[in-house]
Amino acid sequence: MDKFYTTTAIDYVNGAPHIGHAYEKILTDVICRHFSQRTDNAYMLTGTDEHGIKIQKTSAQMNVSPKEFCDMNAQKFIDTWKLLDINYSQFIRTTDEQHTKTVQKIFKKLLEKGDIYKHSYTGLYCSGCEAFLSEKDLDEDGCCPNHKKKPEVVSEENYFFKLTKYKDKIIKHIKENPDFIVPSFRANEVLNQLENIEDISVSRAKTSVNWGISVLGDDSQVIYVWIDALSNYITALGYDTENPSEKFKKYWPADVQVIGKDILKFHSIYWLALLMALDLPLPKHILAHGWITIDETKMSKSLGNVVSPKSVMDSFNMTEPDAFRYYMAATAPCGKDGNYSDDDFKEKVNAHLANSMGNLLNRTLSMLVKYFNGEIKPEFIQENELFNKAKRTIEEVKHHFDYYEVSEASQKIIELVDILNKYVTDNAPWTLAKEEKMTQCGQVLYTVLECMCVIASLIYPYCPNIAKNMAKQLKYDISTKLDDIKLNNIKEGKLISKEEIFPVFLRLDSELATNKK
């Protein structure tokens, strides 16, 4: 691979980040970290969407300027992603000067091309979606299905984008590229939406919304979300209508754009049409993930079940986010909904990270110290059929990531951990030592430790801190590319002393974990 570019949806800053926001960012970060193990040029973009009527109204209620309000809330997202070790390459804000100027140029180019025109319009506007809806978009009560409120009737003279001009090209692209939308079962949903597509409003009158990017040459209008927010994926890279940057040329098109299923329409129809109008390559994949429910109930402010990532970490006294990252990334099959509950979280991470993976490493190293003073002797180093299983697991994990099946990939890693635990139980190195079969005992330990190097690399995208701690005790280079992993990492000689052994993950209900500072 020469490069890998992935993006998240940019989060609207009218509220604080919750577990749903975190799921998308963790999912994308795990994907990007994995591909950073396959290329030196992996780039992840995330950011915040900061214009629109909701921010204008909320900031006024708080008696602060819209920009002050955006600065305050954007920082909440930045702080949360730092807490969760989201290793993004760039954080874009739609109030950034470069983004603002480029969006104005994009609008001007499309206007000059004839793809944008001015039109008087009366439509149904949902302030929650910040979108005009058609009658077909509403539920049986005439409400927005996402916000359960009836849209207001709005009459304005706005600029419109000729979305219908690109309808057939979009249909053709989706049908000819069955893996473009991930998971593929969502493609029919998009094709159905395309049947009755209409041109879309891409500006709002300043009499209705004044917090936005002004249209060049028409100070009565601000550029609406579809060109403003969606363009962030290219403006961040330095796209320019006349002279795109070298970074843009290097990374665009995106390899995968990760979004929630509720905004798939905008990314697989509106975004594609805009790129077609700009004569730019289309992203290779759109990954539409599901929602995260809380105890099997959809998150809702009215229900009071909106959970923040920080509250989860605080409630379990977690100083590092690895357990939360692992659980969120593994919680839902590709494109399906997932669920968070405190009990399931504790049960799964204790079982997988503490009891299975962490304990396997800890007891194997402890036996190496107990029986061999932490040394690997030459006669321990030999081939084992488990090495082939470890190599196959690398390929299986890569295969799942090629299809953005992050949860499925994690299952393959834990499957290898379980096989190694069974291998230790079946071969009982403690019994071999008691019977003074020391060479056989050492060979069992060596085999496990070699395979644990592979596990450290594979678990790294999910649990970077745990993986680094595993690698430290194994004297293993965690930066090794997946294609370069060889099963000869554990070298002859002293590997570890008793003082160097420490648990890589403490059970969430352990006394040590509870009191850890």
* 3-class secondary structure, 13: coil
470's tokens = 């595993």
Which of 136, 114, 138 has its CA nearest to residue 126? Answer: 138
**φ/ψ (deg, to 5) at 213:** -85, 125
Give me the active site residues, please.
18, 21, 126, 129, 144, 147, 298, 301
User: Residue 511 corresponds to which tokens in the numbers above?
Assistant: 């006394």
DSSP structure class, residue 257: E
CA distance 166 to 486: 49
Q: Which helix (H) or strand (E) holds 205?
A: strand 203-205
The whole-angstrom separation of Cα 349 and Cα 258 is 25
- Partnered with residue 133 across adjacent β-strands are 124
Q: Which of 270, 108, 268 is nearest to 199 (CA)?
A: 270
Which region, left, alpha or beta, applies to residue 105 given φ > 0 means left and ψ of -120 to 50 means alpha? alpha
Give dist(CA 421, CA 440) in Å, integer.
17
Angle between helix 322-330 and helix 342-349 axes, rounded to 10 deg? 100
State CA 452 to chain mean position distance. Answer: 26
Among 69, 77, 72, 63, which Cα is nearest to 51's?
A: 69
Q: Which residue has the tokens 């994990």?
A: 397
Q: Are strands 4-8 and 256-260 parallel, antiparallel or unpaired?
A: parallel
How far is it, in rounded angstroms, from Cα 394 to Cα 460? 13
Provide the residue count of the chain: 517
- Whether a cis peptide bond, with omega within 30° of 0, leads into 281 is no
Alpha carbon distances (Å) from 146 to 85, 127, 183, 502, 516: 30, 11, 21, 48, 41
Strands (DSSP E) contained in 354-462 are: 375-376
d(CA 481, CA 38): 6
Between CA 345 and CA 320 the distance in angstroms is: 15
DSSP H helical ranges for 252-384 = 264-265, 271-277, 309-315, 322-330, 342-349, 359-372
Report the SS3 class of residue 49.
strand
